[in-house]
Every structure is written in C-alpha cells, then in structure tokens.
Amino acid sequence: MRIATWNINSVRLRIAQVTRFLAAEKPDVLCLQEIKCRDGEFPAKAFREAGYRHLHVVGQKGWHGVAIVSRRKIEPVEGPALCPKKEARVAAARIDGIEIHNLYVPAGADVPDPVNNPKFKHKLDVLDRMKRAYKKRGGGPLVVVGDLNVAPGEFDVWSHKQLLDVVSHTPAETSRLDAVRELGGFVDLARLHRPDPEKLFTWWSYRSPDWTRNNRGRRLDHIWASADLAAASQADAFHIHVPCRSWERPSDHVPVVAGFKL
C-alpha cells in the first residue's frame, strides 16, 4: 500500500495538479489538507475519473478541510478530537485493516507568543490535545499523516539557528510534536529512511520570488507509522516530490509518499 499526503491549498483551484500527480505516481491513498471547500463542493467527479472512487471528506467553507481519497474501500472512523474550535482538521478512516489519521495542525501565524497571539496558542492547544489522544490510543496498525505545521529537527529547516524563534520551529512546538510521536509509539518514516544530517523539506514560502535559489524550506508534512507498520515500510517507496513545487500554480507544499509491504 502506498500512502501520500499533500497540503493542496485549495483542491478546486489545483485539481489539475492533483490529477497529474495521481496519474504519475498512482498512490493507493491520497490524504489532502487545506482543501478549502465544503463536502458537497469537493471535486469528487475528477477523483472518480482518476480511479479514486472512495472518498472521505471533512470540509469547511472557505478554510481548512481535510479529505482521504482511495482506490480501495474506505471505512470512515472517529478520529481524535484535536481542535478546540471544532474546525475541519481531522479525517480518519480504516483501509484494508490499517487506520489512517489525516491531520491539519494550525499554522499559528507569525508571533511565537501564546499570550499575544491567539493563533499560536490555538496551535499549542492542538499539539497538547494530540499528546493526550495518542498517549491513550489502543493497539493496531496506525498511520498518522498530514501537514503538522512543525519542522521538528535541526535538519528539517534551512537554518536551525535562524529559525529557532520562527513559528514552526520554536522549542515550544518541536518539543510538543516530539512528545506526540514518542507517546504514541510512532516512527517518523522520513527519518527512518532518510536519516540526519540529510536536509529534507516539504514546504517553501510563496514570499520567495525564486524558491529554488536559496532552498529555504521546512519539513512540515509528515508520515508516521506505528512500530508494526514501520517495520513493513519500504525505503525505496518513500519519496518527497519536490518537483511539484515548480508546477504551474503550485501549492507551497509538495506531496510525500510512503509505501508498505503488507
């Protein structure tokens, strides 16, 4: 089974890019974040025509929203209650016996101060809820994917030193995300297959006129697996699809794919 995750930053605006990726890479499952549409506005027809007939959409008008599309039958399940604002940030499903949680953690705006920036406080609250939820989880194979909006390690950002006070790489965020992974017993597949000190990025800001020039990226998009599934993860199937960032009208994120021999 090959599972992909992608913050698409409006699925209707970028449906051509999505179907291009699906045609080229043919993952079994694609988890999308920031779809920016309600359930009924989701471009289901385009996915079905691409061979992805099974859909689980958790939408919201204009903002946020997550979806799971699959070649294989989807059984929606109740995901963890992570967002105190009840925003559409979690979609969970079981596919061929594997539970998949597709998450979109808040970005947190620009000021890393929970007192003066309510959006940053919201982000920390979601990460704290993730710690509690995954600490209490039962057994069974589980994959957690999505735009977690935290670049946790020194080699997950273009400059560890310069970004320590920048939202997405502050110690308040990275310590929480590391705790979620450890408490849940998850393996970060990117670092399992592409260990430090290799720099890995999945996001490059729109603010840069030429994102390739200085390669100032961050690894915000993740695929984690429970230990049993991580043992079945295939190193040659893990891939960050960097060229998608240069496509016409791109998302600022690129897809990440992991494969499992089941």
**Gap between the Cα atoms of 233 and 30, Å rounded:** 17
Nearest partner of 250 among 3, 2, 16, judged by Cα: 16
When pLDDT is cut at 50, 70 and 90, the band that residue 136 belongs to is: confident
* Top-confidence residue, 137 or 64: 64
Q: What is the pLDDT of residue 49?
A: 98
Does 3.60.10.10 match the CATH number of domain 2-260?
yes
Q: Is residue 65 over pLDDT 80? A: yes
- Per the listing, tokens 């079905």 go with 48
CA distances from 56 to 62, 120, 173 (A): 18, 29, 29
Amino acid found at 68 = I
Confidence band, pLDDT 50/70/90 cuts, at residue 242: very high
Average pLDDT estimate for 49-54: 98
Share of the chain above pLDDT 70, in %: 100
Q: What is the chain's Cα-based Rg?
A: 17
For the chain, domain boundaries? 2-260
**Torsion 122-222-250-44 (CA) sign:** negative
- Per-residue pLDDT band for 98 (boundaries 50, 70, 90) equals very high
As a whole number of angstroms, the distance between CA 59 and CA 41 comes to 9
- pLDDT of 257 strictly over 80: yes
Buried b (16+ CB within 10 A) or exposed e, 38-71: ebeebebebbeebebebbbbbbbeeebbbbbbbb
Question: How would you classify residue 62: left for phi > 0, otherwise alpha for psi between -120 and 50, otherwise beta?
Answer: left
Local structure of 170: helix, strand or coil: coil
Round to whole Å and give the CA distance between 262 and 248: 36
Give the tokens for residue 184: 């849940």
Mean pLDDT, the chain, integer:
97
Strands, sheet with 256-260, edge to edge from the N-terminal-most edge strand: 54-58, 66-70, 29-33, 2-7, 256-260, 233-240
Residue 71 to residues 7, 46, 79, 198: CA-CA distances in angstroms? 19, 13, 21, 33
Q: Other C-beta atoms within 10 Å of 33: how many?
A: 30
CA–CA dist 57, 34 (Å, integer) = 11
pTM over 0.95: yes
Burial (CB < 10 A; 0-12, 13-18, 19+), residue 157, is buried
Q: State pLDDT tens for residues 180-227.
A: 999 999 999 999 999 999 999 999 999 987 899 889 999 999 999 999
